[in-house]
Structure formats: C-alpha cells, structure tokens
Amino acid sequence: MVEDGAADPKHGTTAEPKFVYAKVAGAIGNLTSVTTIPEFTLYRDAGSPQISPSATNPRYTRQGFETAFTVIADGAQLGSSLGKYAVGTLKGKAIAVIDDRTTYGQGVVDQFTKSIIAAGAHVVAKEFTTDMATDFSATLTTRKSKKNLTSFFWWYECSSRPHAQENAIARHQSQVHGRRRHLRD
C-alpha cells in the first residue's frame, strides 16, 4: 500500500488509518515530524511499527513507544553534536547562527546554540531567513565586519548553496557550516 501524507498532518491522519485497518505489518514514513507525530499513536495502539526515514523531532522517539523508530539522529542530538564539533574541532569561538524559521530549523539551531555556549563559545549574531529564500545578502550584513567568525546555518538543502555563494561573493572570511555542507570561503 502507498499513501501520501502530503507533509500535512490533517491529510496524514486520514491516510494512515488505512494502513491500520488493512493490518499492515508496519509502515515506513512519514518524512516530516509534523506528520509523523500525530500518527504514531495510531500505530502504537495497533501494535504496528512505524519507521520514519527523516523525522527529527525528539517527541517522536523519546516517549518510549516500542513501535516508533527513526533511522537518523533527532534534532536535539544533531544540534548538540554539531555544536560540539564547531567549538571542539573547528575551534569556533564567535559564532553566528541562522535558521529558516521552520520548526525543524529552529529546533536544530536552538540545540546547537545551547551546545556552543556550554562549550565556551558565544553567539555574536542570531539571524533567520525563510526556507524559500534565495537572496541572503541581508544575513551577511551583520557578519561582514566580524573577524574569525564561524557561521552556522540550518535549513533545507535547496537554500544552502545560494547562501554559501553569496557569502563567497561578499568575501566574508569565515567558516560556513550548514546542512550536509562544510565550506570555507
């Protein structure tokens, strides 16, 4: 069986009962936390495992349900690990953070921020954009005059490349780290 939750919790909760009524052995999906979380009680109550390939909200797996699984780190683990890496390995001390204002982006950046502060670094700028943005010149303005600055941005893959390109064009001399990217200008 195949159903599309359309990354919409209202649609997903009407599609998912079809799996439960069909008594499937388990389900793989949904992709987003916003659709996975409302559905996991359906699967739990049916005793059917649900495996999400990409849900990152800690609420999904940390409630102790024996039927909820994900194959990647949750946002808290991810942000914390990236923060430790930025300070410990990359020696970042003054760090600018940027997120896309989605629940996902904010969650990872919040954990990242807690982690770098705990490790002795400080946040020199906290900025945001949107997950649909293509012009990032405004986010560069605050950081342009800073020396030895590490920039951490987190948003969907489609936005990370234009940001890195604008950063390079502006000759912003900092380390830039983002989703699946590690670039140096």
pTM: 0.72
Same domain, 168 and 80: yes
Torsion of CA 109, 39, 49, 59, to 10 degrees: 30
Q: Are residues 164 and 107 in the same domain?
A: yes
Same domain for 85 and 168, yes or no, is yes
Question: What whole-number percentage of the chain has pLDDT above 70?
Answer: 71
pLDDT bucket at 169, cuts 50 / 70 / 90: very low
97 plus 114 within the same structural domain: yes
Per-residue confidence (pLDDT) for residue 164, from 0 to 100: 52
Indicate the residue among 51, 70, 89 that finishes a domain: 70
pLDDT band at 136 (very low <50, low <70, confident <90, very high): low
As for how many domains the chain has, the answer is 2
Residue-number span of the structural domain to which 16 is assigned: 9-70
Look at 6-10, 42-46, 155-159 and tell me which has the smallest mean pLDDT: 155-159
Residue 129 lies in a domain: yes
- Is residue 92 within 8 Å of residue 175, measured between CB atoms? yes
Whether 61 and 150 share a structural domain: no
Q: Judge whether 104 lies within some domain.
A: yes
182 - beta bridge partners? 177
Q: What is the per-residue pLDDT across 55-113, written as a single tens digit (0 to 9) for each?
A: 888 888 888 889 999 998 998 999 999 999 999 998 888 888 888 777 888 888 899 99
105-131 pLDDT, tens digit each? 888 889 999 999 999 999 988 887 776
Say whether both 94 and 41 belong to one domain: no
* Residues 52, 126 within the same domain: no
pLDDT of residue 117: 96
Q: Which CATH number characterizes residue 167's domain? A: 3.40.50.2300
State the pLDDT at residue 88: 93
Tell me whether residue 103 is in a domain: yes
Q: What is the pLDDT of residues 6-21, one digit of tens each?
A: 777 777 677 778 888 8
Q: Is residue 92 part of a domain?
A: yes
CA distance 108 to 141: 23
**Is residue 153 a contact partner of residue 178, using CB atoms and an 8 Å limit?**
yes
173 and 138 share a domain?
yes
